Copies of this chain bind each other. A is one copy, B any other.
Protein backbone atom coordinates (compact mmCIF):
# COMPACT_ATOMS: atom_id res chain seq x y z
CA UNK A 1 0.00 0.00 0.00
CA UNK A 2 1.23 3.51 -0.82
CA UNK A 3 2.49 5.63 2.04
CA UNK A 4 -0.04 8.43 2.17
CA UNK A 5 0.61 11.88 3.62
CA UNK A 6 -1.90 12.28 6.44
CA UNK A 7 -1.40 15.28 8.72
CA UNK A 8 -2.26 14.77 12.35
CA UNK A 9 -3.37 17.40 14.84
CA UNK A 10 -3.92 15.79 18.22
CA UNK A 11 -6.65 16.86 20.62
CA UNK A 12 -5.52 18.75 23.70
CA UNK A 13 -8.72 18.07 25.61
CA UNK A 14 -9.32 14.35 25.63
CA UNK A 15 -12.95 13.53 26.39
CA UNK A 16 -13.99 11.24 29.19
CA UNK A 17 -14.75 7.77 27.86
CA UNK A 18 -18.16 6.25 28.64
CA UNK A 19 -18.45 2.98 30.57
CA UNK A 20 -18.02 0.31 27.89
CA UNK A 21 -20.69 -1.90 29.43
CA UNK A 22 -23.29 0.83 29.19
CA UNK A 23 -22.95 1.99 25.62
CA UNK A 24 -25.93 2.66 23.37
CA UNK A 25 -25.75 3.35 19.58
CA UNK A 26 -24.42 6.40 17.79
CA UNK A 27 -24.48 9.04 20.52
CA UNK A 28 -20.84 9.16 21.74
CA UNK A 29 -17.91 10.01 19.47
CA UNK A 30 -14.16 9.61 19.88
CA UNK A 31 -11.48 12.30 20.22
CA UNK A 32 -10.54 12.61 16.54
CA UNK A 33 -11.91 12.48 13.03
CA UNK A 34 -10.46 12.04 9.54
CA UNK A 35 -11.02 14.65 6.82
CA UNK A 36 -10.21 14.76 3.11
CA UNK A 37 -11.33 17.61 0.86
CA UNK A 38 -12.20 17.67 -2.83
CA UNK A 39 -12.05 20.66 -5.14
CA UNK A 40 -12.91 20.43 -8.82
CA UNK A 41 -9.74 20.63 -10.90
CA UNK A 42 -7.54 19.77 -7.91
CA UNK A 43 -9.04 16.44 -6.87
CA UNK A 44 -8.95 15.07 -3.34
CA UNK A 45 -6.49 16.87 -1.09
CA UNK A 46 -5.40 17.65 2.47
CA UNK A 47 -5.88 14.30 4.17
CA UNK A 48 -5.76 15.02 7.88
CA UNK A 49 -6.76 13.84 11.32
CA UNK A 50 -8.01 16.58 13.63
CA UNK A 51 -9.80 16.76 16.99
CA UNK A 52 -13.50 15.78 16.73
CA UNK A 53 -15.25 19.10 16.29
CA UNK A 54 -18.22 20.81 14.60
CA UNK A 55 -18.18 21.38 10.84
CA UNK A 56 -18.74 24.88 9.53
CA UNK A 57 -20.56 25.23 6.23
CA UNK A 58 -22.23 27.96 4.22
CA UNK A 59 -26.04 27.76 4.64
CA UNK A 60 -26.22 27.44 0.84
CA UNK A 61 -23.99 24.32 0.81
CA UNK A 62 -25.53 21.77 -1.56
CA UNK A 63 -25.78 19.08 1.17
CA UNK A 64 -28.45 21.19 2.93
CA UNK A 65 -30.62 21.56 -0.16
CA UNK A 66 -30.15 18.76 -2.66
CA UNK A 67 -28.89 15.90 -0.49
CA UNK A 68 -25.76 15.10 -2.47
CA UNK A 69 -24.16 12.82 0.09
CA UNK A 70 -23.24 9.15 0.58
CA UNK A 71 -22.11 7.15 3.58
CA UNK A 72 -20.92 3.82 4.88
CA UNK A 73 -21.12 1.87 8.13
CA UNK A 74 -18.69 -0.76 9.40
CA UNK A 75 -17.14 -1.90 12.65
CA UNK A 76 -13.82 -2.50 14.40
CA UNK A 77 -13.36 -5.04 17.19
CA UNK A 78 -10.71 -5.85 19.80
CA UNK A 79 -9.54 -9.46 19.69
CA UNK A 80 -8.60 -11.42 22.79
CA UNK A 81 -4.96 -10.83 21.80
CA UNK A 82 -5.73 -7.12 22.12
CA UNK A 83 -5.42 -6.50 18.41
CA UNK A 84 -7.86 -4.18 16.67
CA UNK A 85 -9.42 -5.65 13.53
CA UNK A 86 -11.74 -4.36 10.84
CA UNK A 87 -14.29 -6.50 8.96
CA UNK A 88 -13.98 -6.24 5.15
CA UNK A 89 -13.36 -2.45 4.99
CA UNK A 90 -12.34 -2.81 1.33
CA UNK A 91 -15.95 -3.82 0.56
CA UNK A 92 -17.31 -0.72 2.27
CA UNK A 93 -14.98 1.61 0.38
CA UNK A 94 -15.93 -0.09 -2.91
CA UNK A 95 -19.60 0.38 -2.13
CA UNK A 96 -18.95 4.00 -1.12
CA UNK A 97 -17.50 4.59 -4.57
CA UNK A 98 -20.47 2.93 -6.26
CA UNK A 99 -22.71 5.27 -4.26
CA UNK A 100 -20.50 8.23 -5.20
CA UNK A 101 -20.87 7.38 -8.84
CA UNK A 102 -24.70 7.11 -8.64
CA UNK A 103 -24.85 10.57 -7.04
CA UNK A 104 -22.44 12.21 -9.57
CA UNK A 105 -19.81 12.54 -6.86
CA UNK A 106 -16.05 12.03 -7.38
CA UNK A 107 -14.65 8.62 -6.49
CA UNK A 108 -12.19 8.26 -3.64
CA UNK A 109 -8.87 6.45 -3.54
CA UNK A 110 -10.09 3.42 -1.58
CA UNK A 111 -6.61 2.65 -0.24
CA UNK A 112 -6.20 6.18 1.07
CA UNK A 113 -9.61 5.96 2.75
CA UNK A 114 -8.55 2.72 4.46
CA UNK A 115 -5.14 4.14 5.39
CA UNK A 116 -6.86 7.18 6.92
CA UNK A 117 -9.30 4.95 8.78
CA UNK A 118 -6.52 2.77 10.22
CA UNK A 119 -4.49 5.76 11.32
CA UNK A 120 -7.56 7.35 12.92
CA UNK A 121 -8.39 4.17 14.82
CA UNK A 122 -4.82 3.71 15.97
CA UNK A 123 -4.88 7.24 17.41
CA UNK A 124 -8.24 6.64 19.11
CA UNK A 125 -7.53 2.99 19.96
CA UNK A 126 -8.49 3.37 23.60
CA UNK A 127 -12.02 4.07 22.38
CA UNK A 128 -12.48 0.60 20.89
CA UNK A 129 -14.62 -1.07 23.55
CA UNK A 130 -13.52 -4.49 24.79
CA UNK A 131 -16.69 -5.71 26.52
CA UNK A 132 -18.33 -8.75 24.88
CA UNK A 133 -20.65 -7.71 22.05
CA UNK A 134 -19.46 -4.11 21.88
CA UNK A 135 -17.57 -2.61 18.95
CA UNK A 136 -16.35 0.61 17.42
CA UNK A 137 -18.86 1.77 14.84
CA UNK A 138 -17.22 3.57 11.92
CA UNK A 139 -19.06 6.14 9.81
CA UNK A 140 -17.32 7.30 6.63
CA UNK A 141 -19.36 9.88 4.69
CA UNK A 142 -19.04 12.40 1.89
CA UNK A 143 -20.97 15.68 1.74
CA UNK A 144 -21.32 18.28 -1.04
CA UNK A 145 -20.07 21.59 0.35
CA UNK A 146 -20.24 24.10 -2.50
CA UNK A 147 -22.57 27.03 -1.71
CA UNK A 148 -24.84 26.99 -4.76
CA UNK A 149 -28.62 26.80 -5.16
CA UNK A 150 -28.65 25.52 -8.74
CA UNK A 151 -29.52 21.82 -9.03
CA UNK A 152 -26.15 20.51 -10.25
CA UNK A 153 -23.33 18.36 -8.89
CA UNK A 154 -21.20 20.22 -6.36
CA UNK A 155 -17.69 21.33 -7.27
CA UNK A 156 -16.52 20.77 -3.68
CA UNK A 157 -16.86 17.81 -1.31
CA UNK A 158 -15.67 16.73 2.10
CA UNK A 159 -15.00 13.10 3.02
CA UNK A 160 -15.00 12.43 6.74
CA UNK A 161 -14.72 9.46 9.07
CA UNK A 162 -16.13 9.61 12.59
CA UNK A 163 -16.02 6.83 15.18
CA UNK A 164 -18.50 5.83 17.86
CA UNK A 165 -18.12 3.07 20.47
CA UNK A 166 -21.38 1.12 20.47
CA UNK A 167 -23.00 -1.34 22.86
CA UNK A 168 -23.91 -4.96 22.29
CA UNK A 169 -26.87 -5.24 19.90
CA UNK A 170 -28.17 -8.21 21.88
CA UNK A 171 -27.82 -7.70 25.61
CA UNK A 172 -29.04 -11.21 26.49
CA UNK A 173 -28.14 -13.36 23.52
CA UNK A 174 -29.41 -13.16 19.96
CA UNK A 175 -33.11 -12.39 19.99
CA UNK A 176 -35.85 -12.55 17.30
CA UNK A 177 -37.77 -9.44 16.20
CA UNK A 178 -41.25 -8.81 14.83
CA UNK A 179 -41.39 -7.25 11.37
CA UNK A 180 -44.36 -5.71 9.53
CA UNK A 181 -44.58 -5.96 5.74
CA UNK A 182 -45.04 -2.41 4.41
CA UNK A 183 -48.01 -1.93 2.08
CA UNK A 184 -48.30 1.85 1.69
CA UNK A 185 -44.87 3.42 1.65
CA UNK A 186 -42.11 2.50 -0.77
CA UNK A 187 -38.40 2.72 -0.04
CA UNK A 188 -37.00 2.53 -3.55
CA UNK A 189 -37.68 1.53 -7.13
CA UNK A 190 -35.34 0.33 -9.88
CA UNK A 191 -33.87 3.38 -11.61
CA UNK A 192 -33.88 5.28 -8.30
CA UNK A 193 -31.21 5.39 -5.58
CA UNK A 194 -32.13 2.26 -3.57
CA UNK A 195 -28.87 0.48 -4.30
CA UNK A 196 -26.77 3.48 -3.22
CA UNK A 197 -26.12 4.31 0.42
CA UNK A 198 -27.41 7.86 0.28
CA UNK A 199 -29.18 9.98 2.87
CA UNK A 200 -32.49 10.45 1.06
CA UNK A 201 -33.30 6.72 1.20
CA UNK A 202 -33.26 6.85 4.99
CA UNK A 203 -35.25 10.08 5.39
CA UNK A 204 -37.97 8.64 3.17
CA UNK A 205 -38.15 5.49 5.28
CA UNK A 206 -38.85 7.20 8.62
CA UNK A 207 -42.60 7.52 8.12
CA UNK A 208 -43.21 3.80 7.57
CA UNK A 209 -40.87 2.97 10.44
CA UNK A 210 -42.85 5.28 12.73
CA UNK A 211 -46.15 3.63 11.80
CA UNK A 212 -44.73 0.11 12.31
CA UNK A 213 -43.30 1.12 15.67
CA UNK A 214 -46.75 2.25 16.84
CA UNK A 215 -48.10 -1.23 16.08
CA UNK A 216 -45.30 -2.89 18.05
CA UNK A 217 -43.10 -3.92 15.12
CA UNK A 218 -39.35 -3.37 15.22
CA UNK A 219 -38.91 -2.69 11.51
CA UNK A 220 -40.69 -2.84 8.17
CA UNK A 221 -40.09 -5.31 5.37
CA UNK A 222 -40.07 -3.32 2.14
CA UNK A 223 -41.76 -4.62 -0.98
CA UNK A 224 -40.85 -3.55 -4.53
CA UNK A 225 -42.13 -0.13 -5.63
CA UNK A 226 -43.75 -1.37 -8.82
CA UNK A 227 -46.12 -4.13 -7.81
CA UNK A 228 -45.72 -4.19 -4.01
CA UNK A 229 -45.41 -7.96 -4.28
CA UNK A 230 -41.71 -8.78 -4.20
CA UNK A 231 -39.54 -8.70 -1.11
CA UNK A 232 -36.70 -6.18 -1.06
CA UNK A 233 -35.10 -5.69 2.36
CA UNK A 234 -35.71 -4.79 6.01
CA UNK A 235 -34.92 -1.35 7.50
CA UNK A 236 -31.12 -1.42 7.43
CA UNK A 237 -30.80 -5.13 6.73
CA UNK A 238 -31.00 -7.55 3.85
CA UNK A 239 -33.26 -10.54 4.37
CA UNK A 240 -32.92 -14.32 4.05
CA UNK A 241 -35.44 -17.17 4.31
CA UNK A 242 -34.84 -20.86 4.84
CA UNK A 243 -37.52 -22.81 3.00
CA UNK A 244 -37.51 -26.58 2.99
CA UNK A 245 -33.76 -26.76 3.53
CA UNK A 246 -32.87 -24.16 0.91
CA UNK A 247 -31.80 -20.62 1.75
CA UNK A 248 -33.18 -17.83 -0.46
CA UNK A 249 -32.60 -14.08 -0.53
CA UNK A 250 -33.90 -11.39 -2.92
CA UNK A 251 -31.64 -10.99 -5.96
CA UNK A 252 -29.94 -7.61 -6.38
CA UNK A 253 -32.33 -5.84 -8.69
CA UNK A 254 -31.19 -2.22 -8.65
CA UNK A 255 -33.31 -1.07 -5.72
CA UNK A 256 -31.83 -3.22 -2.92
CA UNK A 257 -28.66 -2.22 -1.08
CA UNK A 258 -25.91 -4.78 -1.62
CA UNK A 259 -25.13 -5.58 2.01
CA UNK A 260 -21.66 -6.72 2.98
CA UNK A 261 -23.13 -8.99 5.64
CA UNK A 262 -25.45 -10.42 2.93
CA UNK A 263 -22.47 -11.12 0.69
CA UNK A 264 -20.56 -12.71 3.58
CA UNK A 265 -23.53 -14.91 4.52
CA UNK A 266 -23.83 -16.17 0.94
CA UNK A 267 -20.10 -16.91 0.85
CA UNK A 268 -20.32 -18.70 4.19
CA UNK A 269 -23.29 -20.84 3.08
CA UNK A 270 -21.48 -21.76 -0.13
CA UNK A 271 -18.44 -22.72 1.96
CA UNK A 272 -20.69 -24.94 4.09
CA UNK A 273 -22.35 -26.47 1.02
CA UNK A 274 -25.74 -25.24 2.15
CA UNK A 275 -27.83 -24.37 -0.91
CA UNK A 276 -28.42 -20.62 -1.22
CA UNK A 277 -30.22 -18.92 -4.10
CA UNK A 278 -30.59 -15.24 -4.99
CA UNK A 279 -33.92 -14.74 -6.73
CA UNK A 280 -37.11 -12.74 -7.01
CA UNK A 281 -39.26 -13.70 -3.99
CA UNK A 282 -42.86 -12.59 -3.53
CA UNK A 283 -44.62 -12.29 -0.18
CA UNK A 284 -47.09 -14.81 -1.60
CA UNK A 285 -44.25 -17.33 -2.03
CA UNK A 286 -43.35 -16.85 1.62
CA UNK A 287 -46.95 -17.15 2.75
CA UNK A 288 -47.42 -20.33 0.73
CA UNK A 289 -44.24 -21.87 2.20
CA UNK A 290 -45.49 -20.85 5.65
CA UNK A 291 -48.88 -22.47 5.11
CA UNK A 292 -47.23 -25.61 3.81
CA UNK A 293 -45.08 -25.76 6.93
CA UNK A 294 -41.91 -25.26 4.87
CA UNK A 295 -40.83 -21.80 6.12
CA UNK A 296 -38.16 -22.88 8.58
CA UNK A 297 -36.32 -19.62 9.31
CA UNK A 298 -36.16 -15.95 8.41
CA UNK A 299 -33.46 -13.47 9.37
CA UNK A 300 -32.05 -10.06 8.52
CA UNK A 301 -28.36 -9.36 7.90
CA UNK A 302 -26.53 -6.07 8.49
CA UNK A 303 -23.55 -4.47 10.17
CA UNK A 304 -25.48 -3.34 13.28
CA UNK A 305 -27.01 -6.66 14.39
CA UNK A 306 -24.95 -8.98 12.14
CA UNK A 307 -27.87 -11.49 12.14
CA UNK A 308 -31.37 -10.59 13.32
CA UNK A 309 -33.78 -13.56 13.42
CA UNK A 310 -37.36 -12.74 12.45
CA UNK A 311 -39.82 -14.32 14.88
CA UNK A 312 -42.96 -12.86 13.33
CA UNK A 313 -43.94 -11.36 10.01
CA UNK A 314 -47.15 -9.34 9.78
CA UNK A 315 -48.67 -9.26 6.29
CA UNK A 316 -52.17 -8.32 5.15
CA UNK A 317 -53.74 -9.10 8.51
CA UNK A 318 -51.88 -12.42 8.87
CA UNK A 319 -49.30 -13.08 11.57
CA UNK A 320 -46.69 -15.52 10.34
CA UNK A 321 -44.95 -16.92 13.43
CA UNK A 322 -41.65 -18.39 12.25
CA UNK A 323 -39.85 -21.21 14.08
CA UNK A 324 -42.14 -20.66 17.10
CA UNK A 325 -40.81 -17.13 17.35
CA UNK A 326 -37.40 -18.50 18.29
CA UNK A 327 -33.91 -18.13 16.83
CA UNK A 328 -33.34 -20.82 14.19
CA UNK A 329 -30.36 -23.15 14.20
CA UNK A 330 -29.00 -21.77 10.92
CA UNK A 331 -29.32 -18.11 12.00
CA UNK A 332 -27.47 -19.02 15.20
CA UNK A 333 -24.74 -20.88 13.34
CA UNK A 334 -24.18 -17.98 10.92
CA UNK A 335 -24.23 -15.45 13.77
CA UNK A 336 -21.66 -17.41 15.77
CA UNK A 337 -19.42 -17.90 12.75
CA UNK A 338 -19.53 -14.29 11.57
CA UNK A 339 -19.06 -12.75 15.01
CA UNK A 340 -16.33 -15.33 15.67
CA UNK A 341 -14.47 -14.21 12.55
CA UNK A 342 -15.12 -10.53 13.29
CA UNK A 343 -13.84 -10.64 16.86
CA UNK A 344 -10.92 -12.95 16.14
CA UNK A 345 -12.03 -15.95 18.22
CA UNK A 346 -12.51 -18.07 15.08
CA UNK A 347 -10.35 -18.87 12.06
CA UNK A 348 -10.68 -16.47 9.12
CA UNK A 349 -10.65 -18.79 6.09
CA UNK A 350 -11.75 -15.99 3.72
CA UNK A 351 -9.27 -13.29 4.77
CA UNK A 352 -12.09 -10.97 5.90
CA UNK A 353 -10.29 -9.49 8.89
CA UNK A 354 -7.93 -6.56 8.43
CA UNK A 355 -5.58 -5.66 11.27
CA UNK A 356 -5.15 -2.06 12.37
CA UNK A 357 -1.47 -0.99 12.85
Contact = CB atoms under 8 A, between A and B. Distances in A.
Interface of A: 25-27, 29, 33, 52-60, 63-69, 71, 102-104, 137, 139, 141, 143, 147-153, 160, 162, 164, 184-193, 198-207, 209-210, 225-228, 235-236
A154 to B, nearest CB: 10
A67 B65 contact: no
Contacts of A141: 64-65
A150 B26 contact: yes
A210 B67 contact: no
Given A64-B63, A235-B151, A192 B202 contact: no
Contacts of A57: 54-55, 57
B59 A56 contact: no
A104 B69 contact: no
A65 B225 contact: no
B54 A54 contact: no
Contacts of A203: 66-69, 103, 193, 198-200
Residue of A103, A150, A204 with highest tally of chain B CB at under 10 A: A204
- Closest 7 CB pairs between A and B? A200-B200, A26-B149, A67-B199, A186-B191, A66-B202, A67-B203, A189-B225
A59 B162 contact: yes
Contacts of A26: 60, 148-150
A207 B59 contact: no
A227 to B, nearest CB: 8
A149 B185 CA distance: 23
B65 A104 contact: no
A106 to B, nearest CB: 13
A333 to B, nearest CB: 28
A168 to B, nearest CB: 15
Given A26-B149, A199-B200, 6 more contacts: A52-B59, A54-B57, A55-B64, A59-B160, A65-B141, A198-B203
A210 to B, nearest CB: 6
B162 A210 contact: no
Nearest to A144: B203
Given A102-B207, A203-B103, A148 B65 contact: no
B67 A67 contact: yes
A226 to B, nearest CB: 5
Contact of A152 (B54, B104, B206): B206
B149 A25 contact: yes
